[in-house]
Structure 1
Amino acid sequence: MKQNLFTDFQKVTKEEWINQATKDIKGKDFQKTLVTNGFDGIDLFPFYTEEDLKETQWLQQYHNRLNKPSDIPGMSPRYWSNIFAININQEATDNKRILQALMTGADALLLSVKEGVNFDVLLENVDLEYIELYLKIEKAQVSVLGSFLNWYHTLGKSHESLRGGLLWDPITSCLAEKNSLGSIVESVSKALSISEDYPFFKTLCIDSAYYHNSGASLVQQLFLPLGGYIELIDGLTEKGIEPEQMLSNTLLHAASGSDYFLEISKLRAFKILFHQLADLYQVEVKTEDVKLVVSTSFWTKSKSDVHTNMLRNTTEAMSAVLGSCDALWVRVHDEVKGEINTFSERMARNISSILKEESYLDKIMDPVAGSYFIECVTAQVIAKVKFELEILESKEGWWSTYESHQLQDLVKAARYAKMEDLTTVRKTKVGVNKYQMSEKLPVDNLMWEEENWQLLPLRESFLIEYPNLAKQ
């Protein structure tokens, strides 16, 4: 096109946009009428302009650098792994499910294992050199990790070919099961020691997803796990372990919720904050080397309309990809009813495949880089997280607020505020408080308890689906 048509349009300032909007709403206060005040004090404007990027220019250094380009010839530049997650009960049977998943779209595994698992049977005919492997270990993490690495060593394969990691945040796990800080530091020290010869298998995890699925607000999902991680670094430093050893052996785990654009900003902020944390400890970590595993949300799923959960999974997966995930775990849509089957597992895998093969989200390295909205919100989230981390440190850190239950009470307040928004219909959730199924589900008076020191995963629609819980 030889003629530039944009020269026919005068440049409009943000102030002029605001004046026009104020005129359209008949003189009402622009801030009170059109600006959304988020739970964490993050203001969302109805529009953003180039002027808003003046204070976010420092984010340009992260454009196209939040993910590592694919190094496989002929592949699209943007790559993420498609995770198949499975709870291991019977190794021989589960091996067949694993092989079937790998032949129908999956290229990464997430195995929930316990002590005594037979890896020879479980991973028979699985070539780990061509996939990523993630482990979730309920108890005795160091022992099971040692057994797995010893088994892998017997295969005679290069240690560098083992890629993935252990989804274990030892500090955050104290919110479900009590432990002492000294015991945690000792366990982590052993885990780092036995895995030091496996450079691409990460031993530790900063688990933001746990807070998300417990009902935490967006900013809480970042500053609380990062605060716990700082506590762990301090404990290991006292044992003579350098921060570099820990930071280079850590991956990030987050959950993607239903607030589409906010979730994109949250995930991008998570990677940037970890990179900046490494800088504070004078450890060089490239942002493209930071491993981010993102799961779709457990918190947002409802039992009263399980098929709508597939739609929720899809938008959450899109947020995960645009938010710079390196591995995507789409949870099965009917797990809330305990009816997981081959169909729901296949549907979960297909979502990731469709985002690649049909939506072409893998064709561009960083499609949201430079977006006025995403950049501004990302900067706000980062600033707010840093502010909250300073407050947390002024209260003597994560562990101190955990022992005094301040941390748990903070998240529980955010959780019940969200639940109350549903019960009072301030927020619409299809199939739960609006457009409900005409056929009522059988009443199930679930018994659910949470100690004062605990913070356990819940779902946003619990109080509507289980009215008996609302009375507790």
Structure 2
Amino acid sequence: MASFFLPLFPETDKSAWLMQVQKEYKPAQAGEDEYESLRWHTEEGFTLEPYYTANDLTEGPVTTRSLETIQAVQKHSPGWLNAPEWIVSDEKSDNSSLRDVLTRGADALVLSLSTQTGRHGEKLSRLLNNIKLSENPVFFRLSDDTATDFIQTLKTIAPYKLKGGLLMVAGKSTAEATRLTVDSPQFRTICVSSHVFHNAGATATQELAFTLASLADTYDQLTDSGLTIEQLVPKTILSVSVGTSYFMEIAKLRALRVLLSRLVAAYQSSSLAFFIHCQTSTFYDAKATPNTNLLRATTEAMAAVIGGCDALTVHPYDSVLGTPATGDNDMSDKGFSARIARNVSVLLKEESYLDKVADPSAGSYYIENLTYSLVEAAWTLFLTVENQGGFAKAVASRFVQTEIERAYQAKVDAVRNGKVLVGVTKFRFDEPSTQTYNPLTDQTGLLPDRRLAAVFE
């Protein structure tokens, strides 16, 4: 049988493919180089080829050794936690909805708490009634640096080994919160997020480099407080936004694990017990046609799980409109959008079987090259930040802000020059608004919280 089919599929190499391109390509203008026109010059600063072969994993910049290094540090166990986000407003009614969500596909919860709920034991007890944190991980977003008080309150309500963690920027109380939860190794108290960079318009390279630099600053502070790197790594969450550039985002997450391994090696450690939480991007969401956000979220979710996330939060497609999502029992559109968001993860598991294999993109000629390029570009930028004295000093000198602003303006210019935003600049069924977008109105801290589509809506 094999000998019967063999003549139908003769072996070809890259040179044969290039000859065919030269034969069939019709240039848009005289003198245009057919091959060069097919190459992708990314906003990250490197060039991607239109076609890769097995030789590109051994004869190009990616060596056998670097390929083995990339693959060795990826996640080795398949699957992820489906972790929908919930903005807590009424502890009693929210508790009922949350318990319902856990029976309808959610594996974990992300809860955004007010300071009052976080510090008030009775309110927190009412919210978590019959939700056992030793079985269902719960990740908490706190509105301010009250981690120590919160952990003390939480441990009186749930006096057992906790699962989940804190999805908040590390602060003064992080070290003590880490010590208080040493008996709960699966409750992570150190969080560094890429969202602030992503939502300001950073490239994938910048997002990786500045997130890593922020983590390095955090680790320096925590080791100075007496904690060791072996204590810190298993307690660390990297919370990452995943955008619409499908293959780039897969490679971004794989590159992140390589960069983390390099960072801990600088601390003379080999621990790689990092936990990566991903959430679908709000930067690329559109208010003009919110239904198109469902398409974006699905692509972003696939990239997140193929890239190796440990937990995934899919935002409802209409969350950009500002009304918090509610439960399945709510018959409004909000109840529908929350259910659809949660079911994206369910479908990727139950129908696409993406939870059956770890690192499914390993060995892809294209993605391995893309991962390598991102690692090297991000590491170079990270070292630039470190040479300036670290992340805090790079922010104080406005290096970080200037670099991201340049990247954001390049994204806006690309759309103005014809790049399509589905439902915004094309395939839109209403009249575009004349509203002028001022990013300063969305300023939250040192970097603006933006949406790319807002300029054109």
State TM-score, norm by structure 1: 0.85
Q: What is the distance in 1 between the residues matched to 2:443 and 2:319?
A: 25
Pick one of 31, 40, 48 that aligns with 1:36: 40
Question: 1:403 maps to what in 2?
Answer: 396
| Residues 258 and 316, structure 1, Cα contact 8 Å, conserved in 2 | yes
Pick one of 125, 142, 147 that aligns with 1:137: 142
Is the alpha carbon distance of 1:63 and 1:307 closer, same or farther for their aligned partners in structure 2, counting shifts above 3 Å?
A: same
Give RMSD over aligned pairs. Answer: 2.5
Verify: 1:202 aligned to 2:188, yes or no.
yes
Which secondary structure does the structure 2 equivalent of 1:139 belong to? coil
* Matches for 1:216-235 after TM superposition, within 5 Å: 216-235=202-221
Deviation track 1:319-375 (CA, whole Å, cap 9, x = no partner) reads 111111111100011011124321111010011111111122223333211001110
Is the alpha carbon distance of 1:449 and 1:40 closer, same or farther for their aligned partners in structure 2, counting shifts above 3 Å?
A: same
Q: What is the distance in 2 between the residues matched to 1:452 and 1:441?
A: 25
Question: 1:60 maps to what in 2?
Answer: 68
Is the alpha carbon distance of 1:387 and 1:65 closer, same or farther for their aligned partners in structure 2, counting shifts above 3 Å?
A: closer
Pick one of 117, 125, 131 that aligns with 1:126: 131
Pick one of 404, 412, 415 that aligns with 1:419: 412
| Residues 402 and 453, structure 1, Cα contact 8 Å, conserved in 2 | no
Aligned residue identity for 2:190: L
What is the CA-CA distance between 1:67 and the residue it aligns to?
2.8
Pick one of 355, 361, 364 that aligns with 2:348: 355
Pick one of 444, 464, 471 that aligns with 2:456: 464
Question: 2:306 maps to what in 1?
Answer: 322
What is the CA-CA distance between 1:48 and the residue it aligns to?
0.6
What is the CA-CA distance between 1:165 and the residue it aligns to?
1.5
Question: 2:156 maps to what in 1?
Answer: 151
Q: What is the distance in 1 between the residues matched to 2:344 and 2:338?
A: 10
What is the CA-CA distance between 1:31 and the residue it aligns to?
5.2
Verify: 1:299 aligned to 2:283, yes or no.
yes
Verify: 1:115 aligned to 2:111, yes or no.
no
Verify: 1:266 aligned to 2:249, yes or no.
no
What is the CA-CA distance between 1:441 and the residue it aligns to?
6.5
Q: What is the distance in 2 between the residues matched to 1:102 and 1:226?
A: 33
Q: How many corresponding residue pairs?
A: 435
What is the CA-CA distance between 1:412 and the residue it aligns to?
1.6
State TM-score, norm by structure 2: 0.88
Question: 1:74 maps to what in 2?
Answer: none
Aligned residue identity for 2:293: N
Is the alpha carbon distance of 1:445 and 1:371 closer, same or farther for their aligned partners in structure 2, counting shifts above 3 Å?
A: closer
Question: 2:163 maps to what in 1?
Answer: 163
What is the CA-CA distance between 1:12 and the residue it aligns to?
3.0
Verify: 1:365 aligned to 2:339, yes or no.
no
Pick one of 270, 277, 292 that aligns with 1:308: 292
| Residues 255 and 294, structure 1, Cα contact 8 Å, conserved in 2 | yes
Verify: 1:277 aligned to 2:263, yes or no.
yes
Question: 2:375 maps to what in 1?
Answer: 382
Pick one of 229, 234, 237 that aligns with 1:243: 229
| Residues 212 and 299, structure 1, Cα contact 8 Å, conserved in 2 | yes
Q: What is the distance in 2 between the residues matched to 1:92 and 1:134?
A: 19
Q: Which runs of 5+ in 1 are unaligned?
A: 70-77, 171-183, 466-472
| Residues 271 and 292, structure 1, Cα contact 8 Å, conserved in 2 | no
Q: What is the distance in 2 between the residues matched to 1:188 and 1:344?
A: 34
What is the CA-CA distance between 1:131 and the residue it aligns to?
1.4
Q: Identity over aligned residues, as a percent?
A: 33
Aligned residue identity for 1:352: S
Is the alpha carbon distance of 1:15 and 1:105 closer, same or farther for their aligned partners in structure 2, counting shifts above 3 Å?
A: same
Which secondary structure does the structure 2 equivalent of 1:128 belong to? coil
Deviation track 1:402-450 (CA, whole Å, cap 9, x = no partner) reads 111121121122112212322x142101110112213666969889536
Q: Which runs of 5+ in 2 are unaligned?
A: 118-122, 326-333
Q: What is the distance in 1 between the residues matched to 2:421 and 2:243?
A: 13
